[in-house]
Structure 1
Amino acid sequence: MKILVTSASSANGDGYGQLLAFSMDGTAQGVFSNDLRIVDPRGLRVHANQQLLYVNSGDDRILALDARGDIQYDTGHIPGLNAGGGNFGPDGRYYVGLRTERTIAAFPPDLEGIGTPILQRGIVPFPRGFAFAGDGTLFLASGVGPDGRGGNAILQFRFSGALRNSTFAADDTMSPLDLAIAPGGNVLASSEFPFGSPTAATSVREYDARSGALVRVLAPAGDVPFRRPRGLRFGPDGQLYCTAQDGVIAFDYESGRCLGVVVDHPRLNGQAMEFFGD
Structure 2
Amino acid sequence: MEKTLIKPSLKPTILKTETQHTNTETPFYKPIAKEIEVFEQAFTNKIPMLLKGPTGTGKTRFVDFMTHKLNKELITISCHEETSSTDLIGRYIIKGAETVWIDGPLTKAVKEGAVIYLDEIAEARPDVIVAIHSLTDHRKELYIDKLGKTIKAHPDFMLVASFNPGYQKGFKELKPSTRQRFIALAFNYPNEKDEAEILINETQIDASTAKKLVAIANKIRNLTELGLTETVSTRLLVDAAKLIHTGLGKRLAVRVAVVEPLTDDIEITEALSDLCDLMI
Please state which structure has a larger fraction of its residues in helix: 2
What TM-score results when the alignment is normalised by the length of structure 1? 0.22
Q: What TM-score do you get using the length of structure 2 for normalisation?
A: 0.22
**Looking at CA atoms only, which structure, 1 or 2, has the larger radius of gyration?**
2
Structure 1 or 2: more strand by fraction? 1
